Amino acid sequence: MSFSISSDVIDPEVLKRSLAADSAGACVCFEGWVRDHNEGESVIALEYEAHQSIAEQEGQKILLEARQRFALVDARCEHRVGKLAIGDCAVWVGVSAAHRGAAFDACRYIIDETKQRVPIWKKEHYRDGHSGWVNCATNVAESTTRV
């Protein structure tokens, strides 16, 4: 099981193969992609920032919790940092298990907890020239000024 923060392109096929095991009869993967809109705004690019060591520690905790709650064989999560374009894979979660129920449930648990707890921040750049940190009330004056 591993949770990693990476500035490299995510390769889902390579990650998926790492989950293979003779005892696994199911594999569920989730990919989070960069979308061209959010809350009515037209998004042209995203930037992710993380505190790498704390993010990886907290992420590893989430994977361990998933293993305690669900009958998993293996689980893995990788999250990008840096500047991403529309369509890029921002986060990948994959789970293998003997049966599909545990695999679906664990995959959902891992992505939901990751979004809530792991110190990763997302800055959206919008078509009209402004930008903003998602979920944050704190923003620099300049970034909330419409061009």
Partner 1 sequence: MIEVTARYFAAFRERAGRDVESLSTAASTAAELYDELAGRHGFADSMGRCKVAINDELADWSSTLAAGDEVLFFPPVAGG
Is the Cβ–Cβ distance between 82 and 9 less than 8 Å? no
Binding mask 44-73 for partner 1 (x = CB under 8 A): ----xxxx-xx---x---------------
Residue with smaller CB distance to partner 1, 59 or 97: 59
Q: Give 64's Cβ-side CA count (13 Å radius).
A: 6
**Residue 140 interacts with partner 1 (CB under 8 A)?**
yes
* Residue 94 CB-density burial (10 A; 0-12 exposed, 13-18 middle, 19+ buried): buried
Instruction: Tell me the β-bridge partners of 120.
Output: 50
Q: Could you say which DSSP state residue 58 is in?
A: H
**Residue 134 interacts with partner 1 (CB under 8 A)?**
yes
Which residue in the set 117, 127, 128, 144 belongs to the binding site for partner 1 (CB under 8 A)?
117
Residue with smaller CB distance to partner 1, 20 or 140: 140
**Residue 76 interacts with partner 1 (CB under 8 A)?**
no
